[in-house]
Amino acid sequence: MECARPAERSDVGRIVELAQQLRDELRPMRGGEVWFQRDARTDPLVAAYTDLLDDPDALLAVGTIDDVVLGFAAARIETLHDGAPIGVVTDLFVEPEARGVGVGEALVDLVVEFCVTRGCTGIDATALPGHRAAKNFFEGHGFTARSLVMHRTLHARPDSA
């Protein structure tokens, strides 16, 4: 049976494995390299995810089937200019073989519950352009686009002598 629960310290090693799969999947996609350089957690990943366990404004969760960890999610609470809290999904990944059976849904439900209990006015999550599965997943759980980030890659000019 699939479920989600807050992560424990003993889960961090598995979360790091899943985070590497997330990087490997997203980095080659359109927008993925900028996502990797700007938004992906920095090494060492063990420390990055362990720190979330001690952050009262963050949730690190794992998704399981029969107690086997097959996915994870991370979210944080940010404060808007007017002082209202908003939830931000920073990581969400389920192993490809475990997609479509409820693990991701259980993780999103736990993130939503966390954000509701913290009084958030909403929740933001990012999907890379062209990652139709992620966009459809979030839309299927009540998320709608509120902003599009436009990007132009600039190539460094060679040094002039």
- Is residue 83 included in any domain, yes or no? yes
Q: How many domains does the chain have?
A: 1
Could you write out the three-class secondary structure of 1-18?
Answer: CEEEEECCHHHHHHHHHH
For the beta sheet containing 85-94, the strands, ordered from the edge strand earlier in sequence to the opposite edge, are 2-6, 58-65, 68-79, 85-94, 123-125
Q: What are phi and psi of 54, to 5 degrees?
A: -100, 0
- Average pLDDT in the 99-115 region? 97
pLDDT at 151 over 90: no
Residue 99 has pLDDT above 60, yes or no: yes
- pLDDT score recorded for residue 34: 95
Task: Determine, yes or no, domain membership for 153.
Answer: no
Containing structural domain, residue 18: 2-140
Fill in the amino acid letter for 123.
I
Average pLDDT, stretch 99-110?
Answer: 97
Q: Are 125 and 143 in contact (CB under 8 A)?
A: yes
| Beta bridge pairs of residue 5 | 62
Distance between CA atoms of residues 41 and 5, nearest Å: 21
In a domain, 73, yes or no: yes
In a domain, 147, yes or no: no
Give the pLDDT confidence score for residue 26 in this predicted structure.
Answer: 97
- Does 87 have pLDDT greater than 70? yes
Q: Model-level pTM?
A: 0.93
The residue-averaged pLDDT of 46-71 equals: 97
Q: Is residue 104 part of a domain?
A: yes
Alpha-carbon distance values, 157 to 34, 45, 113, 160, 161 (Å): 19, 33, 48, 8, 12
- The CATH number that applies at residue 56 is 3.40.630.30
- Specify if 158 maps to a domain: no
Whether 154 maps to a domain, the answer reads: no
Specify if 90 maps to a domain: yes
